[in-house]
Amino acid sequence: MRLTVDGATIDDTHNLLSNLTNEYNINIRPAFDQLIPVNVTVQMYLKSIMEIDEVKGTLSFTTGFVMVWEDYRLEWEPSQYGGLEHVSIPLKQISFPKLILSSPATDRSYITQTWSRARIYSNGQVSYLEGVMIESTCDVNVKYYPFDIQFCNTSFVSLGYTKTEMNLIRMAESIDLTLYLGNSMWDLESTHASVETILATGGENQEMLFTFNLRRKPEYAVVNVILPILFLVTLNAFVFLLIPESGERVGYSITTLLAIAVDMTIIMSSLPKSSDPTPLIFYKLLVDLIYSALIMVIVILNMRLHGKDDNVPVPKSLVSFYLALTCKECGGKPVSPESGGFTKDQIANGLEESKGKLHEYDIPDNLSMNSVDAQKVTWKKLSSLLDTIFFVLFVCLSVISFAVFVAILKGGAIATTSAV
């Protein structure tokens, strides 16, 4: 029993497809004049950016491709087929442009699939939509990590056709981001689409180039990479606040040094093993490693000073240095005998009465402080003073070096953005 309907019936569709594919040769380009190229318009619709692998140098994303071209052999009059103006047909039954990924990171490089379907319109226009997950190579530049900006290029070429046979045309100057869902690690700042001419065997080919301008979201790396570096290096200087008698100073320094070395290994394993360019964070970690090793050497030497016998005299220069830094009344300025200070003879006579004898090495020729204070300078006090000096010095150095490092990273990232 045949139903009567208004419009096209299944028989109309059957007759249309039979007439379109009858004696259709898929090996012939869809151009009436075989001396002119077939114009193929291409547009990418980005769905999501899955991952940027800095170590492997790859970019993975899911996207949709729309390709539009005309085939004069697929035209028909809608009125002859119940008003049908478009129909879906398996791609393998018609001639279609074959695009291949020219920057593949995996074995899969074909974009078009023969089992997919294309939509044909009565004026001969063919529209083909393909959804695909692409893994392309990306020249990663992590010099300013974690404030880096990446420019990843994904390119496609028409397989088997030269520029005189197939002309690739971009539908827009950028990738369509209507369906884009975003990425937790990267901000997609801009995209660009272009068509380049490349030399190949047999003539000139065309290459469709899509560029992704990606800026890393630095929050994760700052919290998990940058700040731990600052904390480790600053914590390293606190070894000078440990009591020497505790016996933990050298062990503390070695532990901190190993912690920085382990942190350096972990960070290096997550970045490309490349020397062009070398990430600036590698230099920062190397400086911190040297910084930590220097602290350990200073700690060992200072422990030797602290452990010296009190019967061993402190050199005059070190006594003057100690008194100049610890003198509160004179503010570290020399006090001459004429300004009210005691002469050496007066000091010597007074001390002879109370102690019996004054050693020459305890009274420097240029000593401007009270000589009683000079007698109180010991190796332990000198070691304690050096601990205070080195603690303040290395804490300041760690903070300043960190601030300079971050400023260089941000400045480089801004310069890269301005150069684009």
Query: In tens digits, what is the pLDDT along the chain, a chain of 420 residues?
Result: 344 445 678 888 889 888 888 888 888 888 888 888 899 999 999 999 998 988 888 999 999 989 999 999 999 999 898 889 999 998 888 888 888 888 888 877 777 777 788 999 999 999 999 888 899 999 888 889 989 899 999 999 887 788 888 899 999 999 999 999 989 899 999 999 999 888 766 677 888 999 999 999 999 889 988 898 889 889 989 999 888 888 788 888 899 889 888 888 888 888 887 767 888 998 899 999 999 999 999 999 988 888 887 777 888 888 888 888 876 444 444 443 333 444 445 444 544 544 444 444 444 444 444 455 555 778 888 888 888 999 999 999 999 999 999 999 888 877 776 665
Task: Report the predicted TM-score, pTM, of the whole model to 2 decimal places.
Answer: 0.74
Question: Which residue intervals of the chain bear CATH 2.70.170.10?
Answer: 10-217
Q: What is the pLDDT of residues 26-64, one digit of tens each?
A: 888 888 888 888 999 999 999 999 989 888 889 999 999
Cβ-proximal residues to 244 (8 Å cutoff; 6+ apart), any chain? 303, 306, 307, 383
**For residue 240, what are its two tokens?**
């000078």
What is residue 87's predicted lDDT score, i.e. its pLDDT? 92
How many CB atoms lie under 10 A from the CB of residue 90?
13
Structure tokens at 362: 């305890």
CB crowding 333-361: b at 16 or more within 10 Å, else e: eebeeeeebeeeeebbeebeeeeeebeee
Domain topology for 10-217: Acetylcholine Binding Protein; Chain: A, (2.70.170)
Residue type present at position 192: H
Q: Is 139 helix (H, G, I), strand (E, B) or coil?
A: coil
CB-based contacts of 171: which residues, under 8 Å, 6+ apart? 41, 42, 43, 66, 68, 193
